Amino acid sequence: MNSIVLMIVGLAAMSAGYLFYSKYIGQRIYRLDASFRTPAHEFNDGVDYVPTNKFVLWGHHFTSVAGAAPIVGPAIAVIWGWGPAFLWVTLGTIFFAGVHDFGALWASARNKGKSIGILAGSVIGARGRNLFLVVIFLLLLMVNAAFAVVISNLLVSTPTSVIPTWGAILVALVIGQLFYRFKVGLLWPSVVGVIVLYALIIVGNSYPVVLPESILGLSPRSFWILLLFTYAGIASLLPVWVLLQPRDYINGLQLFVGLGLLYVAVLIASPDVVAPAFNDAVPEGTPSLVPLLFVTIACGAISGFHGLVASGTTSKQLDKETDARFVGYFGAVGEGMLSLATIICCTAGFATLVDWQAVYTQFGGGGVNAFVAGGDAILVAGLGLPADLGATILATMAILFAATTMDTGLRLQRYVVQEAGELAGWKINGVVGTLIALGICLALAFGVGEGGTGGMIIWPLFGTTNQLLAGLTLSIIAVILIKLRRPVWMVVIPLAFLLTMSIIALVVQLGEFYRQENWLLLVMDVVILVAALWVALEAAIAMRRSRRADAAPFKDETYG
């Protein structure tokens, strides 16, 4: 099998999904209305609620949702063969992720920009809302703590990525001023910004930054983790137009250029896929493909985190409701394209099957390093780039994806803290909410594990929690559609599949944690499982109640 076939089939299928399926959903199901007054206009405060050009907003949404997970998940899952990973990423993007992300953005925008957790209270009741917030908070904790570890590891292993990683912040600050303070159009700042970012990659490749063994008593990894959380805390408090929007936008352009380079290199080099389509000789200890495939690849096929971003920050910046199709559905397509590129890099970026098997000796092998190594080989063969430059480009891509997710993730975690405070009758301002969120993340990172790596200890629960949250988010969307007397099958089918696979995976993991005597993960697993089942039951009751012939449909123009 030649990798060009995978690339063309995958890209063509996802493009068709956006052009046709998302159009049907937007017109017939969500019924987008260009005249609807979005929360960005209704509550415009210049901080969180800011009407935003759809291309800039797409950049924010795409880079926020496309963290390290759409690279890590597929890079691990190809151990079962490229076939299952390819099918799940392609079909999941079209029929699962696009519907989910688009729907969460639409539902939030139609409900004054409320997060999906708070919206659950309006749809299925206070009890379901409170349990939903527990699942959301735990997922955000996993994302923020674990992505800091992923970024710090890459900054240490690929020191040539340090300068472009931190230089991107300065570029974003300048672009934000040009866009919003000086009202400069998109074209030239975008072109010059991307050129500067790639120039920084070349500079970084020539001048790697290697930290000393000890900095203020901290190892290099611990120092980077602390610095990353400090930066994320500051970024989460700034108005979105100052750093969050322009950083995500310009990074999105840079990362799309990077994806383009990879795909062009595949066309030129035409590497063969050396990994088997279905691997019948998986290493000992590898879990069964079903249900683990569907939680190992979360981001890139469907991810509950996307619903948090869509309803947490993106909905507050939506200029026109009709922009939701491009921002939400095409944002999911962008992440699917990244996961497709990862599958190609991790299966066609090795010279022989023996070389591939030498990397995939156990479940969890591969990961970001396989993506960087395989992609580097393809860039070298296809574009003739120096080997170290190709590795720098790919490592920087992975870091920037993860870092923009951290920016948004900490802001979302602050929102959850503030929303929980309001439910308890406490008024928590932005600074205090951020400090609470930071304190919990740092306590996990440095209080458990060694050298700030505590975030990775709870990472085994990320996939199942993420997919459960996606299923629960779809259940909220389904209840709203039922109340509106609209077709609901395109939401209910993914929701039933996800909840089934995720709950089975959680039960399987319970047994593993018990055998390992890992009581922390066992307790968290039980909490997540009970909360998810309870929310699902509340949603099912709400659906049944809404289907009754005597149930009144929504009259509130908010949902119209």
* pLDDT at residue 519, as a whole number: 87
Query: Could you tell me the pLDDT band of residue 450, with boundaries at 50, 70 and 90?
Result: low
Interval 202-227: pLDDT, tens:
999 999 999 999 888 889 999 999 99
C-alpha–C-alpha distance, residues 108 and 311, integer Å: 5
Interval 398-428: pLDDT, tens:
888 788 888 888 988 998 898 888 888 898 9
Instruction: Supply 282's token pair.
Output: 């998986």
* pLDDT at residue 559, as a whole number: 47
Q: Which of 188-202, 282-296, 356-370, 446-460 has the lowest mean pLDDT?
A: 446-460
Q: What is the DSSP string of 59-84?
A: HHHHHHH-SSHHHHHHHHHGGG-HHH
For residue 213, is it within any domain?
A: no
Percentage helix, strand, coil for the chain under 3-state DSSP, each rounded to 5: 75, 0, 25
| CATH number of the domain where residue 525 is located | 1.20.1740.10
Number of domains observed in the structure of the chain: 1
Q: Which helix (H) or strand (E) holds 114?
A: none
* pLDDT at residue 169, as a whole number: 94
Q: What does each C-alpha distance from 182 to 30, 464, 484 come to in angstroms?
A: 36, 45, 43
* pLDDT at residue 74, as a whole number: 93
* pLDDT at residue 556, as a whole number: 42
In 10 A of CB 533, how many CB atoms? 15
* pLDDT at residue 451, as a whole number: 64
What average pLDDT does the segment 127-151 reach?
84
Q: How many angstroms from the chain centroid is the CA of residue 208?
A: 28
pLDDT at 560 over 80: no
For residue 215, is it within any domain?
A: no
- Residues of 162-200 as b/e, b for ≥16 C-beta within 10 angstroms? bbbbbbbeebbeebbebbbeeeeeeeebbeebbebbbeb
For residue 317, is it within any domain?
A: yes
What does the mean pLDDT of the chain come to?
Answer: 89
C-alpha–C-alpha distance, residues 74 and 234, integer Å: 32
- Residues of 454-484 as b/e, b for ≥16 C-beta within 10 angstroms? bbbbbbbbbbbbbbbbbbbbbbbbbbbbbbb
- The larger pLDDT score, comparing residue 323 to residue 47, is at 323
C-alpha–C-alpha distance, residues 95 and 488, integer Å: 13
Domain residues for the domain of 513 are: 3-208+222-270+277-283+291-559
Interval 241-291: pLDDT, tens:
999 889 888 888 888 888 899 999 999 999 999 999 999 989 988 889 998
Cis peptide before 291 (omega within 30 of 0): yes
- The larger pLDDT score, comparing residue 439 to residue 407, is at 439
Q: For the CA atoms of the chain, what is the radius of gyration? A: 22
3-state secondary structure of 215: strand
What average pLDDT does the segment 498-519 reach?
90
Residues 6+ apart with CB under 8 A from 420: 133, 137
For residue 42, is it within any domain?
A: yes
Amino acid, single-letter form, for residue 460: P
Helix axes 82-92, 330-348, angle to 10 degrees: 170
* pLDDT at residue 555, as a whole number: 47
What average pLDDT does the segment 164-169 reach?
94
For residue 390, is it within any domain?
A: yes
C-alpha–C-alpha distance, residues 105 and 57, integer Å: 12
C-alpha–C-alpha distance, residues 262 and 30, integer Å: 35
Helix axes 519-547, 116-124, angle to 10 degrees: 50
Highest mean pLDDT among 92-96, 408-412, 539-543: 92-96
What average pLDDT does the segment 533-553 reach?
76
273 within 8 A of 1, measured Cβ to Cβ: yes
* pLDDT at residue 557, as a whole number: 42
Q: What percent of the chain has pLDDT over 90?
A: 54
Q: Among residues 412, 467, 473, which one has the least CA distance to residue 124?
A: 473
C-alpha–C-alpha distance, residues 10 and 338, integer Å: 11
Q: What does each C-alpha distance from 480 to 100, 169, 218, 419, 466 come to in angstroms?
A: 13, 39, 50, 22, 22
Q: Which of 82-91, 457-466, 518-527, 543-552 has the lowest mean pLDDT?
A: 543-552
Query: Could you tell me the pLDDT band of residue 449, with boundaries at 50, 70 and 90?
Result: low
Residues 6+ apart with CB under 8 A from 120: 128, 129, 132, 472, 476, 535
In 10 A of CB 217, how many CB atoms? 7
For residue 191, is it within any domain?
A: yes
C-alpha–C-alpha distance, residues 138 and 116, integer Å: 15
Amino acid, single-letter form, for residue 320: K
Instruction: Supply 169's token pair.
Output: 């912040």
* pLDDT at residue 70, as a whole number: 87
pLDDT at 15 over 90: yes
> Which neighbouring-strand residues pair with 272?
2
Please give the model's pTM, rounded to 2 decimal places.
Answer: 0.87
For residue 416, is it within any domain?
A: yes
C-alpha–C-alpha distance, residues 265 and 260, integer Å: 8
For residue 324, is it within any domain?
A: yes
In 10 A of CB 47, how many CB atoms? 14
